[in-house]
Chains A and B, each alone.
Chain A
Amino acid sequence: MKISHYNQLLAILTLLSGTVIFVSLWHQYQKIEQVSRGHYESRLLMQTVDHVFTMSQLWLTSQDLLFSGRQTYLAKGIHQQSEQLKKTLVSIKDKQVYNNSDNNLLDRLIIAIEQNNQVIYSFSKIAAQQTDNWQTTVAESDRLTSGFIVNLEKFYQQVVNDNKEKARQLAEVTDNFFMLCWVVISIYLLFVIFMVSSFSKYIVKPIEKITKLAQQEENESGDVEFRQVKAATEIVQLSKAIQQFTQHITIERNIAEQERLNVIKANDKANVIMDTIPCSIILVDEQGLIKECNIETEQLLLDNKTSIIGKRVSDFVPALANLDGGFDRLGALKHMEESLLAPSFANPHIEFSGREIEIKGQINYLITLIDINERKHSQKALSSLNDQLVHAEKLASIGQLSAGIAHEINNPVGFIRSNLDVLDDYLKSLAEYIELAKQTDKQAQASAFYKKEDLDFVLQDIKPLISSTLEGAARVSKIIKDLGSYAHVDEKLPEDILIDELIEKSLTLVANELKYKVDITKHLEANVNVSGFPQKLLQVFINMLVNASHAIETKGSICISSQLEQDQVRIRFEDNGSGIAKDDLKNIFDPFFTTKPVGKGTGLGLHIVRSIIEEHGGHIDVSSIVGKGSIFTIYLPRQTASQVNENYFEQVIN
């Protein structure tokens, strides 16, 4: 049976039993009320009859006094007493209608009073007479009043009996009422006990049993039998559901336990990872307060974990603070951002990356701090090494170019020497002529010598010889100057460079390399300044030209062009050499990659070219077809020196 049915049954039975109890008790109570009212009226009647007795006692005594002393003045009072007595008896008679008492007695009493009144009246008439007639009247009155007393006693007895009967009835109905109360209460208690017992057996006990089973400590197997058989339907269903639920819980718990173990393992692993990971990891909240960190953080921030936790992350990494000192959430989300620790740290270089993560509904930031001080030092070293490498490469190219350059120098030096030898001969002839001419006596000799030595020609030839010598010296000077500037290490600060002029310089230096097999075509139309490091860019152009020359085996052409395209200068080196294989195109800028025979190339040329161009904020593209040639296009931004300086300083700082 369902609990709801129990409740309905209980409600109905309670209502029915309550109704039965109420109706029966009310009915019995009404009986008591009725009988009690009758008994009360009976008692009132008894009191009235008692009063009648008293009145009649006075009435009779008054008569006795009247008769004894023949005191006729009492007659009026006796008459009034008679009327009062009669009135009382009449009122009793009226009430007696309801009490079914013997009304004849009352009638006789009333009649006796009336008759006695007449006797008293007649006595008062004859009392003064000197005869004995009054004694007859007294005797008649005594007879009447004796009868009155007898009847009054009878009536009183009736009333007493009636009162006793009423009292008995009252006691009976009262007893019945209490008996009924006891019976009803007993039945009700039995009913309550039965219902409580039923409730206890089918509802409470099973629930207690389930509760006890639920509270008891789990046994080893974890199997607890919750199912109840003798219970309300809901409890049976509930116990089955609990049983299924507990089984499900057991399974889930085992899974959870396994997962917990896995989590512990994972946690241990994560802790190990966290503590061994070679970077600092800190967890900060939205206010930038550090909530967690790993061991590496202690080493980076030179403090123990307990001291670090709770502090603001910006105390350690000022870059993560806003201008108002708050936590820079957007800044924390940067990736691989190089920054500095607080000035108090001796090794301040770090790189941080941040991610926003939600933990238990709250936004947190996981920030990694990587100590890049070594890298910075390495970068510096590498930069230095790179400079050395560039320089070495430059020197190497100078070495490669040295023969050509020497040849280029040797030619002018040769004809300078030749010219100087001629000029020396000319000078000797002229000196001898002048010596002869100074002597007046040797004027003829001088003229002969003049003609002999054809000094007119000499004088005419000296100027071209000197010009040629000066030109040769200038050529040598230029080559040496260009070579010197090429070999010279750049200043630290960039400077404005006329890019077309720098290309020309490069052509000068590689002229001997090119002139026997390459036809140079120039379209230098940029005619703008590019800010940068001239020696490095010169190295780039020489490298481009030498590579093009090397790509041309016997005879070819190289077209050099410069052009201004919007905000950048495009410099193109186009050759019709052997070209570059497609597979090699992707590797040509890698360091130490070369297709040249061993000893002919370092493999660093194009790598350095690209690094220098990138250093200048530009980039280089290449396209090549094997057998047809290659096109290298260099794009350099058209920047002023101040802009380049800013970029340069930024790079230096970073």
Chain B
Amino acid sequence: MKKYYLPLLLMLFSQDIDAVAYCSLRDPVALIKQLYPDKTNQLSIVKMVDDNIRAQVQVALPRNDLHFSELGRHTLYIIMQGKHSLGYVHVRSEQSDWGLVEVAWAIAKDLTIANFAFQRCRSPNKKVAEQQQFKDIFIGKNFQELKKLLHSDGVTAKNAVLKRAQPAPELANVMLRCSLKTLLLTEILWGDELKKY
């Protein structure tokens, strides 16, 4: 039940929210540097997540609806090394038992997960998730490959994934949902733009 409280609460509080890009980096330079140590600079492309996009996400990920805080303007960072792009950074927040988990996703140019870093994660198992073994669950996988890791309920990861994510299986569920939304929105919103880089 508790997973339904948050959307309800967000709906109540989001009526007067201006279209602010919540999923943004508070310290983009430092975090991007952490993900792409070789980067020289980054570009940012701001896109609007509206109801149309939300409907597309609902179709692609039926049980992973975008909440109101995820609507509005969102920024995708294109990480550059000189004139070459190294990849992209997409920051997304995913609700969890520990509040919003804010993850900065490093996305490869082939739209696979390259790495991730937490902007906020209050889980006691945050350190587990920061280990490579945990990260390897996601790194190198595109949207379809990650979607295969979803259980039939469309919300949690399959048991094999959860077993691999021990002792942080709940965090693995959060990260899987977050990664899927991130790759899906990246392609939907910025797919055309990214072909240039």
Residues on A lying within 8 angstroms of B by beta carbon are 50, 53-54, 57-65, 68-69, 71, 74, 77, 135, 138, 142, 145-146, 148-150, 153
A64-B93, A65-B10, A150-B124 given as contacts; is B99 within 8 A of A57 (CB)?
yes
A53–B124 CB distance below 8 A? no
Tell me whether B160 is interfacial, beta carbon within 8 Å: no
Which secondary structure dominates chain A's binding surface? helix
CB distance from A48 to the nearest CB of B (A): 13
Chain B 86-100 per-residue mask, 1 if CB under 8 angstroms from chain A, else 0 = 000000010111111
Interfacial chain A residues near B17, Cβ < 8 Å: 69, 71
**Which of B19-27, B140-148, B187-195 is the contact stretch?**
B19-27
The residue among B17, B69, B100 with the most chain A CB atoms within 10 A of its own CB is B100
Residues on B lying within 8 angstroms of A by beta carbon are 1-2, 5-6, 9-10, 13, 17-18, 20, 22, 26-27, 69, 93, 95-100, 102, 120-124, 126
Interfacial chain A residues near B69, Cβ < 8 Å: 65, 68
B122–A68 CB distance below 8 A? no
A65–B123 CB distance below 8 A? no
B122–A60 CB distance below 8 A? yes
Interfacial chain A residues near B126, Cβ < 8 Å: 146
A57–B93 CB distance below 8 A? no
A58 to B126, CA, bound (A): 19
A61–B6 CB distance below 8 A? yes
CB distance from B18 to the nearest CB of A (A): 8
B120–A142 CB distance below 8 A? yes
Interfacial chain B residues near A135, Cβ < 8 Å: 26-27
B26–A57 CB distance below 8 A? no
A252 to B122, CA, bound (A): 110
B122–A62 CB distance below 8 A? no
B6–A145 CB distance below 8 A? no
A63 to B6, CA, bound (A): 12
A280 to B37, CA, bound (A): 155
- Chain A to chain B contacts (Cβ below 8 Å), 9 pairs: A54-B1, A57-B2, A58-B5, A62-B9, A64-B120, A65-B69, A77-B13, A142-B120, A146-B98
Interfacial chain B residues near A153, Cβ < 8 Å: 124
A74 to B99, CA, bound (A): 15
A61–B124 CB distance below 8 A? no
A57–B10 CB distance below 8 A? no
Interfacial chain A residues near B99, Cβ < 8 Å: 57, 59-61, 63-64, 145
A50 to B97, CA, bound (A): 10
CB distance from B67 to the nearest CB of A (A): 10
CB distance from B83 to the nearest CB of A (A): 30
CB distance from A141 to the nearest CB of B (A): 10
CB distance from A161 to the nearest CB of B (A): 16
Additional A-B contacts beyond A57-B6, A69-B20 (14; CB < 8 A)? A54-B1, A57-B98, A58-B9, A60-B122, A61-B99, A64-B100, A64-B120, A65-B10, A68-B69, A68-B93, A77-B13, A142-B120, A145-B98, A146-B126
A149–B123 CB distance below 8 A? yes
One of B9, B18, B26 near A61 (C-beta < 8 A):
B9
Residue in chain A with minimal CB distance to B97 = A57
Residue in chain A with minimal CB distance to B72 = A69
A57 to B96, CA, bound (A): 7
B98–A149 CB distance below 8 A? yes
Residue in chain B with minimal CB distance to A147 = B122
Interfacial chain A residues near B124, Cβ < 8 Å: 146, 149-150, 153
A508 to B27, CA, bound (A): 202
Interfacial chain A residues near B13, Cβ < 8 Å: 62, 65, 71, 74, 77
A74 to B17, CA, bound (A): 11
Interfacial chain B residues near A50, Cβ < 8 Å: 2
